Amino acid sequence: MTLTKTPNLSKLYRLQWEKSQDAFVLLYPEGMVKLNASAGEILSRVDGIKSVAVIISEIEEKFGLSNLSDDVVSFIGLAVEQGWVDLEGKKKDDS
């Protein structure tokens, strides 16, 4: 995955903050996925406009960290495999 790719949340899922879970969750017709803090930070920035590089930069700036590229890219790759995220409008089966 290149850092110029633009991830977008799949239309089957909705991201929201769930106060009772104290976490971001992904809602879908059959249920819910509770996200850990890192996953929530990443997916909350996935909007179909920001590139992976911009998402990394925002997270690094927010937390005063650097070298988060591998972790963010790895999670976005996992999210694509799970079908939660599309890259530039392409579903995971459109390769």
The answer to whether residues 46 and 88 touch, using CB atoms and an 8 Å cutoff, is: no
Q: Is 79 exposed, middle or buried, given 0-12, 13-18 or 19+ CB atoms closer than 10 A?
A: buried
Please give the average per-residue pLDDT across 75-94, as a whole number.
Answer: 80
Over residues 70-84, the pLDDT tens digits come to: 999 999 999 999 999
Confidence of residue 1 (pLDDT cuts 50, 70, 90): confident
Confidence of residue 94 (pLDDT cuts 50, 70, 90): very low
The torsion of the CA quartet 58, 40, 17, 93, rounded to 10 degrees, works out to 110
Confidence of residue 6 (pLDDT cuts 50, 70, 90): very high
Euclidean distance between CA atoms 11 and 48, whole angstroms = 11
Q: What total number of domains does the chain contain?
A: 1
38 lies in some domain: yes
89 lies in some domain: no
Instruction: Note down the domain range covering 75.
Output: 7-83
22 lies in some domain: yes
64 lies in some domain: yes
Residue 75: give its domain's CATH number: 1.10.10.1150
